[in-house]
A = this chain, B = another copy of it.
C-alpha cells in the first residue's frame, strides 16, 4: 500500500481544503494512505501529523482555510530551534528529507506559493519525492495560468467595490480601495474592471497624481462627482517609492499604519479638493468559502497531483494551461514573479473603456 503525505505552506487561500479533499478521495480510491503534516514544513520536521481518513474530509469542499494549519515562517533551511532559553536558526532540511523516509512517505504533496515551492525544489534536489501544487491569491506564480484563491479574492474585492459605489455616489466622494498584490496587480486589475473602477493603480505601471486627478475632474465635468480608485498594495508612489505598511511588531508608533491606499486618498484630496476616503480590504481577501471556479481548479489540481504522486512522477508542479491541467518539472518553472505585461489585453480593453491607470 502506497503512502502519501501532504502539507500546506504560506498564507492561506480559499481552496486549500478542496485540494486536500481531492487528494484524499483519489488516495482512498487507489487504496493509498494519506498523512497530513500540520503547519507546513514544521509538521514534517517535528513529526506532527495525522492520518487523513474519510471523516476528516467530510464537508471540506466549501470551507475556507486549511484544516492542516499553515505557517509562513518556518523554513527547513533556516528553522527555529530552542537551544536552552533562546531560539537559534538551523538547517533542518536533512531532517525533513530523512523524516519522509522514517514515516515511509512515498511522495509528499506540497501546496504552497513561491516560497514553499522553492523549498520543495531544494528538498527534491536532496532526494525528497515531492509534487507541488501552486497556490497564491495574488495569481502571480510562474508556470501556471491561474492559481486557486484568486477568483475568490476577486469576488470579495468586487463585492467591496459594489458596496463602495453606492456610498461614493451618495456622498459625491472619491473612494479608494487598497487590495492585495505586493508585486503584481492581478487582483486590482480584475476586480477593478469587474467593479467599475475609474482608476486602477498597480505595481507594473507608474502613475502621476496629475493623471489620476485629470480623470476624476473629467468625470465631474460629465456630471459624475464621485470616483472609485483601486490600488494594489504594492503600487509605488509617483516617485517610485514603495509604501510599506508598518507591521505591528516593528512600529514604534501604534498609529503609523497607513499604506498606499491612504496615501493616494490624501494626494487626491489635496490635488482635486474632493473629499476622499480609503478602505484597506486586507485579510478579508484570503477568507471565506472558495468560489465555484476555485473549488473546481483546486479539485483538479488535487486530483492531478495525487495521480502524479501515485504514478511516481516526482519533482513536478501541476499547472493550468489553456483550461487544461498539465504539469511541469520544478526546473521548467520560470523564476521570478508573474507580473502583468503592460500590453496585457485586459489593460488595453480597460483603457479603451476609459479606465485610467494613471500613466
Question: How far is it, in angstroms, between the C-alpha of A243 and the C-alpha of B11 when the chains are bound?
Answer: 30
Count copies of this chain in the complex: 4
Q: Output the nearest chain B residue to A326 by Cβ-Cβ distance.
A: B345
Question: Which residues from chain B contact A323 at a C-beta distance below 8 Å?
Answer: 145, 322-323
Whether the pair A26, B353 counts as a contact (CB closer than 8 A) is yes
With A163-B284, A170-B65, A194-B295: A352-B279 Cβ-Cβ less than 8 Å: no
CB distance from A252 to the nearest CB of B (A): 11
Question: Which residues from chain B contact A248 at a C-beta distance below 8 Å?
Answer: 262, 265-266, 269, 276-278
The stretch among A98-106, A149-157, A335-343 that forms the contact with chain B is A149-157
Question: Which residues from chain B contact A8 at a C-beta distance below 8 Å?
Answer: 170
Bin the interface of chain A by size: 35 or more
Could you say which of B154, B258, B288 contacts A162, with CB atoms under 8 Å apart?
Answer: B288
Question: Which residues from chain B contact A16 at a C-beta distance below 8 Å?
Answer: 170
Q: Output the nearest chain B residue to A222 by Cβ-Cβ distance.
A: B54
CB distance from A291 to the nearest CB of B (A): 7
Question: How far is it, in angstroms, between the C-alpha of A65 and the C-alpha of B195 when the chains are bound?
Answer: 16
Whether the pair B283, A277 counts as a contact (CB closer than 8 A) is yes
Whether the pair A263, B269 counts as a contact (CB closer than 8 A) is no
Could you say which of B151, B277, B280, B307 contacts A293, with CB atoms under 8 Å apart?
Answer: B151
The stretch among A87-95, A116-124, A125-133, A296-304 that forms the contact with chain B is A296-304
Question: How far is it, in angstroms, between the C-alpha of A262 and the C-alpha of B64 when the chains are bound?
Answer: 24
Interface presence of A166 (CB below 8 A): yes
CB distance from A11 to the nearest CB of B (A): 8
Identify 14 residue pairs between A and B in the complex whose beta-carbon atoms are under 8 Å apart, listed by A's number.
A28-B354, A65-B167, A151-B292, A158-B292, A158-B295, A166-B287, A175-B283, A193-B296, A245-B255, A248-B276, A251-B266, A253-B256, A300-B346, A324-B345
Q: Which A residues form the contact surface with B (CB < 8 A)?
A: 8, 11-12, 14, 16, 22, 25-26, 28-29, 39, 54-55, 58-59, 61-66, 69-72, 145, 151, 154-156, 158-160, 162-167, 169-172, 175, 190-191, 193-196, 222-224, 243, 245-246, 248-249, 251, 253-259, 262-263, 265-266, 269, 276-280, 282-284, 286-289, 291-293, 295-296, 299-300, 303-304, 307, 322-325, 345-346, 349, 352-354
